[in-house]
Structure 1
Amino acid sequence: MYLKQTILACLTAAMTSGVLAAPLALKAGHPDNYVVQKGDTLWDISGQFLAEPWLWPRLWNINPQIANPHWIYPGDVLQLSWVNGEPRLGKASQGGKQVIHLSPKNRYENKANPVPTLPLSEIGPFLQTDHILANSQQAKEMPYVLGNNEKHVGMLEGDVLYVQGTLIPGQDYGVYHPGTIYKDKQTGEQLGQEAVFVGVVRAEEQLPNNTARVTLAQSRREVYQGDKVMPLPPQETLAAVFMPKAAPVISPGYVIELPSKARGGGKFDVVLINKGLRDSVSPGDVLDIQRPGAEMVDKNGKVSYREYASVYDKAFYSAGKSSLPSESVARVMLFKVYDKLSYGLILQSRELVSSGYQVSNF
């Protein structure tokens, strides 16, 4: 609950010079009024009015110095107005005449939950538990599960386990299964290793020979010998401030995979991209996702898609091979950034996004 409140508060408090510099264009055919529906997000509502919904802080006239969110609730009537030539969205009075701009004051009425900025349920697990290790060497140096005296292969909630490594008695730790090692598809550089969250253990006692006795307090799936153990991120240090802004100029990257393992993802699905802190990106950066243009083989005017061409034609008529123009299909906002990789949430999508799609500035 604390995490959700923190993310909600921080999300609505974010605005940067990048947002201020961009023009605020209203969407063609936008309404003048809108009744908030159950299940709405500020992003969806902003998309009713703005051509670029990621500029929502200006539409709501959010002050970056305000720590509390501008709560709105299902059933509230929103009305569009103009202030100094800029469009503003606020709550209308019951009579529908006076526009009351959203207030930073706390609200105490016993109503439904306030409307969040984004569907937090989609990114919560990535903020709280799932993780990317810098490299496979980091995984080798972490404490790991030895097993238990019942000789269970898969250990479940309530089991007493032993861990090789030093732990602090009374402290909770996350248990992670080492997953996919991500490598750059062109250079072969190791970008990081997936750490799949499987459970939480509570350290009970530090024993001789650098061994700790722990209790498996909760488990998402079975815990196995060799699973890694590391501290859970404190809620107050989670990267929960998402600043909707254009990303700095980067060299083109690509979508590595969809953590859901689906073949394609749409709006509010999560993707993993090969850009991170070393590329100067940060949480809140918005990037464009493009479908690569189809590669062609042109044999003296006889054109075919490269994947359908013969081996001979690929070998002798691909030296100057052309491809159709790439197409912008989605916008993604980064929300968890590592050194060489980042998780992003698809905010807009005209069609499904797949691994290998290009990520670049728009």
Structure 2
Amino acid sequence: MIRKTIVLLAGLLVTVAVYAAGAQLRTDHPDNYTVRSGDTLWDISARFLVKPWLWPEIWQANPQVRNPHLIYPGDVLNLSFINGPSLRLQPSVHREGDAVPAIPLSELRTFLKDLRVLNSNEVSSAPYVVGLEENRLRGAVGQNIYVRGLQATPGQRWAIVRPSHVFRGFEQDDPGDADSRIFAHELDSNAAMVNAPWREDSRHDGQMGRGQDMGVEVTVIGTAETLRVGDPSTLLLLDSTREIRSGDRVLPIDDAPYDPYFYPHPPKSLAQDSHVIGFADALDAVGSRQVVALSVGAKDGVDNGQTFSIYRPGENIHDDVASNSWRRGVGSRVTLPDEFVGHVMVFRTFDRVSYGLVMDSLRPVHKNDKLAMPE
């Protein structure tokens, strides 16, 4: 028993040493930091860690911090260099507000509660809005909507959703081929509700309709309550973020759509050719604290909290000197190094796709930017 204890303690010491080596303190770290309302764990750790995503290791090396999620405004974090970097937490006597989250979940409501990725068949075969009260073209809160294909009971509540993107995967035979990727194809907002297979918007991508269907992204745009069952059933529209149209789909309400807490951490491995495939609230590029869709998901080992580095692929250019010519397309070419863009933290995962929040960025994030281990 004593020997087992000694071995266990030795293992813990080695683990703490590894944590201390990996989670290096910044040279300009503060000696003390008082947690304030509005802070996030990422913001706090970025103040004193070279690698903010390694903050759980610091906490795990300090057993007096029993739960790193239960840190509140008013708590004081003390840093010291006694036998390596260490952290001490002095809880405040009077705590105000909620525990500090890893990232600002309050700013992500739309992407946490109102966004889903489902199998295409699930969406295309789901009950749908067939008509609106008084034969109107658009539905508003307080009006009746009529839904076909719904198996419901009076009083049951439902989510009204609208397809927004379809994810398509292409063969991986040639890693250098642009078709060996997952693409997010925007759906034509005027036809997406009716057409299945979905009509993809030709303005943004020349590959629409091709490749393997990897799922459909739908946005929750309202909730409704069943008033009368039948075919069609009558539902009362309780709330909405957009006007409801014929063709919008009706799905069960997801009562627990996301994890309230998670640990930022590096991935154990990274699938080849992982990259940014789309944006949730932009067309061309995004920056810090905006949401991106990634080409990896739960089936690739991705879970909430995983943090990646983002790199802009180096451009392949003509080498004028090596070619001894300024003529483009003739002679030697060279690919420039990839350029670091920033970090992204995953906050919601699906089978083949995940969504992440850009935590920091030196330059804009574009589609097809690469994901890498966060070093």
The Cα of 1:79 is off from its aligned counterpart by: 1.9
Partner of 2:202: none
> 1:71 and 2:71 equivalent?
yes
Residues 277-316 of structure 1: pairs in structure 2 closer than 5 A: 277-298=298-319, 301=322, 313-314=328-329
Indicate the larger mover: 223-232 or 270-279: 270-279
Q: Which amino acid aligns with 2:117?
A: I
The Cα of 1:149 is off from its aligned counterpart by: 3.9
SS, match of residue 80 in structure 1: strand
Query: Does the 8 Å CA contact 2:161/2:218 hold for their aligned counterparts?
Result: yes
Question: What is the Cα-based RMSD across aligned positions, in Å?
Answer: 3.1
What is the percentage of aligned positions where both structures have the same residue?
Answer: 31
Kindly tell me: are residues 69 and 246 of structure 1, through their superposed partners in 2, closer, same or farther at Cα, counting changes over 3 Å? closer
Query: Does the 8 Å CA contact 1:167/1:203 hold for their aligned counterparts?
Result: no
Given candidates 195, 213, 216, the residue that maps to 1:190 is 213
Partner of 1:29: 28
Partner of 2:38: 39
Kindly tell me: are residues 60 and 226 of structure 1, through their superposed partners in 2, closer, same or farther at Cα, counting changes over 3 Å? same
| Equivalent-residue separation in structure 2 for 1:340 and 1:45 (angstroms) | 31
The Cα of 1:271 is off from its aligned counterpart by: 0.6
Query: Does the 8 Å CA contact 1:293/1:327 hold for their aligned counterparts?
Result: yes
Kindly tell me: are residues 322 and 243 of structure 1, through their superposed partners in 2, closer, same or farther at Cα, counting changes over 3 Å? same
Query: Does the 8 Å CA contact 1:250/1:361 hold for their aligned counterparts?
Result: no
> 1:54 and 2:74 equivalent?
no
The Cα of 1:53 is off from its aligned counterpart by: 0.9
The Cα of 1:289 is off from its aligned counterpart by: 0.8
Kindly tell me: are residues 332 and 51 of structure 1, through their superposed partners in 2, closer, same or farther at Cα, counting changes over 3 Å? same
Residues 203-222 of structure 1: pairs in structure 2 closer than 5 A: 203-207=226-230, 209=231, 211-222=232-243
Query: Does the 8 Å CA contact 2:132/2:146 hold for their aligned counterparts?
Result: yes
Given candidates 329, 332, 343, the residue that maps to 1:331 is 343
Cα deviation code 1:47-91 (max 9, x no counterpart): 111111112223344779967942321x55432146774411423
Runs of 5+ unmatched residues, structure 2: 1-14, 170-177, 181-210
Runs of 5+ unmatched residues, structure 1: 1-15, 92-101
Kindly tell me: are residues 83 and 69 of structure 1, through their superposed partners in 2, closer, same or farther at Cα, counting changes over 3 Å? farther
The Cα of 1:338 is off from its aligned counterpart by: 1.1
SS, match of residue 335 in structure 2: coil
Partner of 1:140: 124
Partner of 1:126: 111
Cα deviation code 1:184-226 (max 9, x no counterpart): 461433332221221111122221x4x3211110010100000
Cα deviation code 1:252-294 (max 9, x no counterpart): 2111112111532222211101111221212121112101112
Kindly tell me: are residues 223 and 166 of structure 1, through their superposed partners in 2, closer, same or farther at Cα, counting changes over 3 Å? same
Kindly tell me: are residues 200 and 139 of structure 1, through their superposed partners in 2, closer, same or farther at Cα, counting changes over 3 Å? same
> 1:249 and 2:233 equivalent?
no
Partner of 2:11: none
Kindly tell me: are residues 283 and 53 of structure 1, through their superposed partners in 2, closer, same or farther at Cα, counting changes over 3 Å? same
| Equivalent-residue separation in structure 1 for 2:345 and 2:119 (angstroms) | 22
Number of equivalenced pairs: 318
Query: Does the 8 Å CA contact 2:79/2:85 hold for their aligned counterparts?
Result: no
Partner of 2:173: none
Kindly tell me: are residues 68 and 47 of structure 1, through their superposed partners in 2, closer, same or farther at Cα, counting changes over 3 Å? closer
Query: Does the 8 Å CA contact 1:31/1:49 hold for their aligned counterparts?
Result: yes
Kindly tell me: are residues 63 and 181 of structure 1, through their superposed partners in 2, closer, same or farther at Cα, counting changes over 3 Å? farther
Q: Which amino acid aligns with 2:262?
A: F
